Amino acid sequence: MYKISEIWIYPVKSLGGIRLSEALAERRGLQHDRRWMLVDEAGQFLTQREVPEMALLQPAIGTDNLTVRHSRYPDQTVRIPLDISGMPPEKTRVKVWSNSVSALIMPSGINHWFSEMLGTQARLVYMPDTSRRRTDGRYTPSGQLVSFADGFPYLIIGAEALEELNRKLADPVPMNRFRPNFIFAGGNPHDEDRWSDIRIGEQPFRCVKPCARCVMITTDQMTAQKSAEPLKTLSQYRKRGNKVLFGQNMIWTGSEPAHVREGDILLAG
């Protein structure tokens, strides 16, 4: 039997994550997941690949605001309104991988804070509901949407997969290197490789593509320091062609947004 042991969202792409006891499953991802993103002056998206210090910025979500705090300087915080209806943000186009996406620029005070904390010019943008970024049609039905996530709305990884990896490493790594939305307990390492349609509680999902990993998983999320691991070890036993695979990308196939919860039973077919 499989069971959901942890649920995570990452409101600002490539910043720290937030663990939730329950979350609302929506078409383009869990509610608030990767709806914000940092971009440079040209509108190109920023991630820990280029700016590893982004790992040190930790978000917390409240009723009205998303608060981001620097883990080394706890008194350094910025608040981002969850409801932007009362704000007059400027519209712009931003680039995330091969997609050009309509987004809203957050106020200058917020952008100045991120620029100061990261030591590089950065602007925070938000993806409104009117923005339509589509998933890769080679793997999903037409019309599927995704937030500012790399390519797909959901990522699931089994705790046993991480345990197998850590048995091969001299220094174990935590799951936060891989940034899943769902972690499940039970079964064998990489059972998710063979899944297609699954249910988490009452909610239907579809596994569409193994997740190809990059150098971002080599950044320690506590220190922002890079190393060769765990990508080096993963490439020794999880390489398929020229891709290193760990976890499964998913879409939600429900009709009305609904909650998923820690402890939900996962049924895989």
Taking phi over 0 as left and psi of -120 to 50 as alpha, with beta for the rest, 179 belongs to left
**Token pair for residue 218?**
């080599």
Residue 33 predicted with pLDDT over 90: yes
Residue 146 predicted with pLDDT over 90: yes
CA distances for 241 relative to 162, 236, 237, 244, 245, angstroms = 21, 12, 12, 8, 10
As a whole number, mean pLDDT of residues 117-133 equals 97
Q: 21 is in which domain, residue-wise?
A: 2-268
Work out the angle at residue 167's Cα, subtended by the Cα atoms of residues 163 and 172, and round it to the nearest 5 degrees. Answer: 80
Give the per-residue pLDDT at 22.
98
As a whole number, mean pLDDT of residues 58-85 equals 95
**Contact present, 124 and 80 (Cβ < 8 Å):** yes
Report the candidate in 89, 130, 94 with the shortest Cα–Cα distance to residue 106. Answer: 89
**Average pLDDT value over all residues in the chain:** 97
In this structure, what CATH number is given to the domain that contains residue 54? 2.40.33.20
Give percent of the chain with pLDDT exceeding 70: 100
Give the per-residue pLDDT at 225.
98
Residue 87 predicted with pLDDT over 90: no
Residue 186 predicted with pLDDT over 90: yes
Residue 86 predicted with pLDDT over 80: no
Work out the angle at residue 19's Cα, subtended by the Cα atoms of residues 208 and 52, and round it to the nearest 5 degrees. Answer: 80
Number of domains into which the chain is organized: 1
As a whole number, mean pLDDT of residues 115-126 equals 98
HEC profile of 35-92: CEEEECCCCEECCCCCCHHHHHEEEEECCCEEEEEECCEEEEEEEEECCCCCCCCEEE
Give the per-residue pLDDT at 174.
98
**In one letter, which amino acid is 256?**
E
**In one letter, which amino acid is 62?**
G
Give the per-residue pLDDT at 89.
74
**Contact present, 267 and 4 (Cβ < 8 Å):** no
Three-state DSSP class for 110? Answer: helix
Give the per-residue pLDDT at 84.
83
Phi, psi of 175 (to 5 degrees): -65, -20
Residues 6 or more apart whose CB falls under 8 angstroms from that of 8 comprise 17, 18, 19, 20, 179, 180, 181, 182, 183
**In one letter, which amino acid is 82?**
L
Spatial separation of the C-alpha atoms in residues 56 and 220, rounded to whole Å: 10
Residue 88 predicted with pLDDT over 80: no
pTM over 0.75: yes
